[in-house]
Amino acid sequence: MYNSKITGLGFYVPEQVVTNEDLSKKMDTSDAWIRERTGIESRRHVVPGEDTTTSMGVKAARIAIERAGIDKDEIDFIVFATLSPDYYFPGPGVLVQRDLGLRTVGALDVRNQCSGFVYAVSVADQYIKSGMYRNVLVIGSELHSKGLDMTTRGRGVSVIFGDGAGAAILSRETDPKKGILSTHLHSEGQHAEELAVTAPGMGKRWVTDILADADPEDTSFYPYMNGQFVFKNAVVRFSEVIREGLAANGLETADIDMLIPHQANLRISQFIQQKFGLSDEQVYNNIMRYGNTTAASIPIALTEAWEAGRIREGDLVVLAAFGSGFTWGSAIIRW
């Protein structure tokens, strides 16, 4: 049995910076209001026509492939995590296969929103551990800006999210003490509607109904979030799944060299940091600059931390996420 190891990382964010002041010109909000509630100062939004969820993922993937020191034809499988695919179907995994000019390898889409990258890493890890694949490309990419209610009505959600993509190459590792030691995944569907976009949906209303209604007040296309409820659940589940991962490997909080939490809200990350007694050097946050990029947030932050030299060989790195579904998960990695 093999382990999987992250051998290459890359990320891409659009050039267009959208500050809190920029948003205050579109809705009744302010820089102080947004910072106090989320810690966000700016985020990136695509320029219409210049980027898509897939194209951002491809740009991040090219960097990860180069850094892994492999040829693209050595990739055996693709796992693409997103809540904002280019099309309702097919998913972006096959578009990446096409746009990178890869062999006819399999492509799998993961729809676990904020927990998407951790879920995708877990899937890739199992494929490699079983011996089925040697190199798996894992991508988290999101284009939120085209689907947000940029009015005062939607400010509670729209100020939070940004666009971007991150990618990782997971490769076969023969040393059982290196690489991804374990992953831990959970869900609680009873709270599914507390953080959701319910349209178009095939259960209650389909495209024909929506087009027939043509209702400009229809908010079902926009994200809904019960903010306080999500926050309370997030801090509990983050803590649980981190402790679960550490315990599974006989580790303690003091063994953590770097925690990369999903960048949902700076207040959540700070709460977790304080609860675990971690220093600023042991936690990496970049939500201040990019906002919440959902499935892309962990790979973007992980890549930045690695580029800054804050992750070194032998370090214990913990990835943890919580989001819509509710879903949550962690990955324990020996770098």
Quick: pLDDT tens for 218-251. Answer: 777 778 889 899 989 999 999 999 999 999 999 9
* Residue 12 and residue 139 share a domain: yes
Domain boundary among 140, 173, 206: 173
Tell me: the pLDDT tens digits for 194-221? Answer: 989 887 766 666 677 777 777 777 777 7
Residues 68 and 169: beta-carbon distance below 8 Å? yes
Report the run of H or E that residue 24 belongs to, with start and end: helix 20-24
Domain boundary among 152, 173, 194: 173
What's residue 203's pLDDT? Answer: 65
Q: Is 114 a catalytic residue?
A: yes
Identify the active-site residue in 3, 233, 262, 286.
262
Q: Provide the CATH number for the domain around residue 57.
A: 3.40.47.10
Q: Is 265 a catalytic residue?
A: no
* Residue 239 and residue 114 share a domain: no
Question: Which long-range contacts link 213-220 to residues 24+ away (Cβ below 8 Å)?
Answer: 219/149, 219/153, 219/154
Give the integer Cα–Cα distance in Å for 14 and 165. Answer: 9
Of residues 243, 237, 234, the one with CA closest to residue 265: 234
Judged against a pLDDT cut of 90, whether residue 255 lies above it is answered with yes
Q: How many structural domains compose the chain?
A: 2
* Residue 218 and residue 159 share a domain: no
* Residue 200 and residue 153 share a domain: no
Range of the domain at 225: 179-334
Torsion sign across C-alpha atoms 92, 96, 99, 103 = negative
* Residue 313 and residue 258 share a domain: yes
Give the integer Cα–Cα distance in Å for 256 and 246. Answer: 9
Identify the active-site residue in 3, 114, 144, 233.
114
* Residue 143 and residue 20 share a domain: yes
* Residue 186 and residue 93 share a domain: no
By CB atoms closer than 10 A (0-12, 13-18, 19+), residue 87 is: exposed
What's residue 199's pLDDT? Answer: 75
Q: In degrees, to the nearest 5, what angle opens at C-alpha 37 toward C-alphas 13 and 149? A: 60
Q: Which amino acid is at 183?
A: T
Give the integer Cα–Cα distance in Å for 254 and 278. Answer: 8
Tell me: the pLDDT tens digits for 77-99? Answer: 999 999 999 998 999 999 999 99
